[in-house]
């Protein structure tokens, strides 16, 4: 991940929550590691509510520093990191201010990266303003989600940005693709002869993908109430993880080889008939409950949320892939807020043995399963059956555990750190291509449309539980259940 390339990293929304919690801490970790960022590389923060660089550095010290380095901050590294940071005050609503940015970037060597950590309504105006002062040449642009509200609005943004930046200049970020276990999923499948022959309908009974959050909408009530879990999590994160799990082996790990295979999965998703949405999709909304012993309010009483809101905070889906490898294998997707635990994981349930001389326990589904946990503790576990000590042939579940923090001495790279380095180094494989995004929107639109016109409210669930009972009932119809373990 080392680079000798000079760069200028321009951060729009330099005082925003994403910059504070993720982007600037990730850049610091790359700086602190040594050799990952060229010595000549600079970070130019852009904001309008800060007077000058000195004031911005004060803000970084106060708000960003607490989010870096869990084991404490190396003050020498922190001081040299601050030396990389410059500041330009710009009103994004005034295109003439971009001449200030052009002048600040004039004569700098290397690639320019523009990171748009702003609301999507500003993507197109910023791109037009950059083009008006010639800053779209020899540049890369990073777009945060959500990229649009539906297929039509997503295409409108992509069309407008695509008139200014070529597709190979556009980096649509999905931070789940940068997580270490997702990378290890690729290594597991395509670097070992053991798993790939089993990774198909003959041996896999079902697959679950869960992204569960304990948090509610926090201070994002206005945004979330106009978005919902399907747009916020399923259309991007969950479908991207599904495509990684289900894709065919690429001929190499170059950008388009990987993304071509993901696209084939997204295009093979079985279309959902609006009449069947009630059978394969569950939406829920959290009511008052408790998280880890503390009372939490109902979604409808959160600040910024309409009291009569029908926005979903929970989604569970049954998905099918119509291709040779996966025909007949159900993929169950689940995400929600105010659930019983914070966890993101992929569970591959393998089929039971066809005949057992060892008793009924060897015939139950899911006895052999692979659990790839993305958060909070990143691990890969392979479960199988073994004989319990003592008399008789009594079987019990045991597992092999690859815990990365115990196995590898060097610390794991955070997702944003990996992805930002990929942008600087021009690696596109872990970023979403436009045709992938369009395929994902096209698949979820029937659900969005049905829920928008339906008179049925979301199913209630108490905060601190695992969501509506209907989500478990959907799996029970297929003889399985959600994996819900302690961390």
Residues of the chain with CATH 3.40.50.720: 7-144
342/211 Cα distance (integer angstroms): 8
Residues of the chain with CATH 3.30.360.10: 177-412+433-476
Residues 129, 95 contacting (CB under 8 angstroms): yes
Per-residue b or e along 228-247, where b marks 16 or more CB atoms closer than 10 Å to that residue's CB: bbbbbbbbbbbbbbbbbbbb
pLDDT of residue 361: 64
Residues 100, 90 contacting (CB under 8 angstroms): yes
Residues 317, 234 contacting (CB under 8 angstroms): yes
Strand runs (DSSP E) across 249-365, as ranges? 281-287, 289-291, 294-296, 314-319, 331-336, 343-350
439/217 Cα distance (integer angstroms): 28
Mean pLDDT by 10 residues, the chain (487 residues): 75 94 95 89 94 95 88 88 96 90 92 93 94 94 90 95 96 91 86 90 96 91 92 95 96 91 97 92 97 94 94 97 97 97 94 79 73 86 86 81 72 88 94 96 95 92 97 94 73
DSSP three-state, residue 234: helix
pLDDT of 73-87, one tens digit each? 889 999 999 999 999
pLDDT of residue 343: 95
84/369 Cα distance (integer angstroms): 47
Quote the DSSP letter at residue 299: G
Longest dimension (CA), the chain: 83
Tell me the HSE value of 332 on the side-chain side, using a 13 A CA sphere. Answer: 25
- Cα torsion for 284, 289, 294, 299, to the nearest 10°? 50
Round the average pLDDT of the chain to a whole number and report it.
91
pLDDT of 308-361, one tens digit each? 999 999 999 999 999 999 999 999 999 999 999 999 999 999 998 887 777 776
Class for the domain spanning 177-412+433-476:
alpha beta
Query: For the range 52-55, what are the long-range contacts, defined as Cβ-Cβ under 8 Å and sequence gap of 24 or more?
Result: 52/87, 52/89, 53/85, 53/86, 53/87
Residues labelled as active-site residues = 237
CATH topology of domain 7-144: Rossmann fold (3.40.50)
pLDDT of residue 402: 78
pLDDT of residue 365: 59
Q: For 79, phi and psi rounded to 5 degrees? A: -65, -40
Alpha helix stretches (DSSP H) within 316-382: none
């Amino acid at each position: 991940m080392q680079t000798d390339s000079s760069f200028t990293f321009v951060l729009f929304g330099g005082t925003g929550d994403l910059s504070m919690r993720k982007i600037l801490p990730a850049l610091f970790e790359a700086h602190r590691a040594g050799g990952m960022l060229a010595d000549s590389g600079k970070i130019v923060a852009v904001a309008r509510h800060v007077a000058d660089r000195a004031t911005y550095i004060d803000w970084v010290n106060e708000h960003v520093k607490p989010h870096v380095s869990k084991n404490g901050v190396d003050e020498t590294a922190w001081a040299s990191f601050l030396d990389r940071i410059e500041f330009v005050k710009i009103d994004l609503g005034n295109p003439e201010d971009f001449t200030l940015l052009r002048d600040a970037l004039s004569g700098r060597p290397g690639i320019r990266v523009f990171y748009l950590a702003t609301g999507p309504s500003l993507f197109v105006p910023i791109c037009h303003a950059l083009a008006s002062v010639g800053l779209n040449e020899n540049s890369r642009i990073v777009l945060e989600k959500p990229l649009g509200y539906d297929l039509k609005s997503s295409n409108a943004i992509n069309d407008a940005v695509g008139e200014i930046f070529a597709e190979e200049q556009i980096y649509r970020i999905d931070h789940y693709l940068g997580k270490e276990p997702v990378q290890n999923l690729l290594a597991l499948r395509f670097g070992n002869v053991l798993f790939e022959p089993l990774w198909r309908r003959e041996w896999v009974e079902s697959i679950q993908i869960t992204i569960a959050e304990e948090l509610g909408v926090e201070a994002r009530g206005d945004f979330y109430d106009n978005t919902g879990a399907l747009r916020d999590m399923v259309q991007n994160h969950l479908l991207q993880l599904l495509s990684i799990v289900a894709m065919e082996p690429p001929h190499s790990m170059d950008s388009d080889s990987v993304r071509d295979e993901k696209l084939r999965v997204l295009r093979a998703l079985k279309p959902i008939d609006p009449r069947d949405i009630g059978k394969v999709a569950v939406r829920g909304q959290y009511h008052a409950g408790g998280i880890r012993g503390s009372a939490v309010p109902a979604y409808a009483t959160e600040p910024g949320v309409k009291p009569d809101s029908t926005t979903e905070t929970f989604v569970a889906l049954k998905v099918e892939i119509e291709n040779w490898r996966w025909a007949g294998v159900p993929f169950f997707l689940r995400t929600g807020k105010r659930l019983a635990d914070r966890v993101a994981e992929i569970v591959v349930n393998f089929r039971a043995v066809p005949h057992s001389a060892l008793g009924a326990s060897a015939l139950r589904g899911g006895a052999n399963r692979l659990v790839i946990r993305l958060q909070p503790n990143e691990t890969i576990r392979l479960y199988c059956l073994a004989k319990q000590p003592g008399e008789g042939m009594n079987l019990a579940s045991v597992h092999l555990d690859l815990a990365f923090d115990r196995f590898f001495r060097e610390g794991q790279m955070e997702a944003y750190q990996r992805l930002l380095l990929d942008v600087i180094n021009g690696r596109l494989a872990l970023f979403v291509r436009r045709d992938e995004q369009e395929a994902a929107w096209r698949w979820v639109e029937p659900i969005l449309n049905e829920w928008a016109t339906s008179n049925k409210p979301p199913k209630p669930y108490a905060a601190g539980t695992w969501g509506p009972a209907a989500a478990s009932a959907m799996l029970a119809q297929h003889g399985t259940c959600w994996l819900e373990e302690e961390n």
